[in-house]
Chains A and B, each alone.
Chain A
Amino acid sequence: EAGVAQSPRYKIIEKRQSVAFWCNPISGHATLYWYQQILGQGPKLLIQFQNNGVVDDSQLPKDRFSAERLKGVDSTLKIQPAKLEDSAVYLCASSWLGHEQYFGPGTRLTVT
């Protein structure tokens, strides 16, 4: 069974530029999550989808971050414009609702 896929693995951009991350969950998993992990900390949830609907985006900085999950499968997370403090690893996870979450390899973003 294929795991959660993410791309790109690494991205370096300048502040005020935009960037997008892509996630493909495990086949059949209806629930998809995006987490932000700042160096030295545990991951923190940004947004949760159930199929193609948003369940919780209360921790998403909506003035610069946006996310969508078209057709209830793949998802993209976008940052526009990026700030220095957005430097982090962005992790995508998927699960059956209420069951074990599985994480992708992450995208390491550096904003200079």
Chain B
Amino acid sequence: GIQVEQSPPDLILQEGANSTLRCNFSDSVNNLQWFHQNPWGQLINLFYIPSGTKQNGRLSATTVATERYSLLYISSSQTTDSGVYFCAVERDDYKLSFGAGTTVTVRA
């Protein structure tokens, strides 16, 4: 099956700092989603981004499908940004394959 690798595995930020999370995938995909899993375990949809760039407030994402990677940018980080960020890709079978996640800790 398709391999999804996320880096870095852990990230510690000072409040107000910017950061970039990366997602590499091993084969072509139809769709890509970024999620934030909050401390209560809920997966929150951040972006549905098979290609191109999208922005939502302090978060933005870019997917370069031809080069098989996606980036998630967090600007001016806040303590509420803490949690695990997952990248998931979807192929022709309409199933999501998840990476192992990046654990982000934002310190006040």
Residues of A near B33 (CB, < 8 A) are 100-101
Please judge, given known A-B contacts A91-B43, A102-B45, A106-B41, whether A31 and B100 are in contact too, CB under 8 Å: no
Q: Are A103 and B43 in contact (CB under 8 A)?
A: yes
The minimal Cβ–Cβ distance linking A60 to chain B, given in whole angstroms, is: 13
Check B42 for interface membership: any CB of A closer than 8 A: yes
Check A84 for interface membership: any CB of B closer than 8 A: no
Instruction: Indicate with 1 or 0, residue by residue over B15-42, a CB within 8 angstroms of chain A CB atoms.
Output: 0000000000000001101010000111
Q: Are B45 and A56 in contact (CB under 8 A)?
A: no
Task: Name the one of A35, A48, A91, A105 contacting B94, with C-beta atoms under 8 angstroms.
Answer: A48
Residues of A near B100 (CB, < 8 A) are 40-42
Instruction: Indicate with 1 or 0, residue by residue over B27-69, a CB within 8 angstroms of chain A CB atoms.
Output: 0001101010000111101001000000000000000000000
What are 27 contact pairs spanning A and B, CB under 8 A? A31-B94, A33-B96, A42-B4, A42-B86, A42-B101, A43-B43, A43-B96, A44-B98, A45-B95, A45-B97, A48-B94, A56-B95, A93-B96, A97-B94, A98-B31, A98-B90, A100-B31, A100-B45, A100-B48, A101-B96, A103-B43, A105-B40, A105-B41, A106-B41, A106-B42, A106-B43, A108-B41
* Interchain CA distance A55-B40 in the complex, whole Å: 30
Residues of B near A93 (CB, < 8 A) are 96
The minimal Cβ–Cβ distance linking A14 to chain B, given in whole angstroms, is: 23
Q: Spell out A's residues near B (CB within 8 Å).
A: 31, 33, 35, 40-45, 48, 55-56, 89, 91, 93, 97-103, 105-106, 108
Q: Are B43 and A56 in contact (CB under 8 A)?
A: no
* Interchain CA distance A43-B99 in the complex, whole Å: 9
* Interchain CA distance A91-B7 in the complex, whole Å: 24
Q: Are B94 and A98 in contact (CB under 8 A)?
A: yes
Q: Are A42 and B99 in contact (CB under 8 A)?
A: yes
Residues of A near B72 (CB, < 8 A) are none
Q: Are B48 and A56 in contact (CB under 8 A)?
A: no
Task: Name the one of A31, A42, A98 contacting B98, with C-beta atoms under 8 angstroms.
Answer: A42
Closest CB pairs A-B (n = 8):
A42-B98, A103-B43, A100-B48, A106-B41, A105-B42, A45-B95, A43-B98, A42-B100
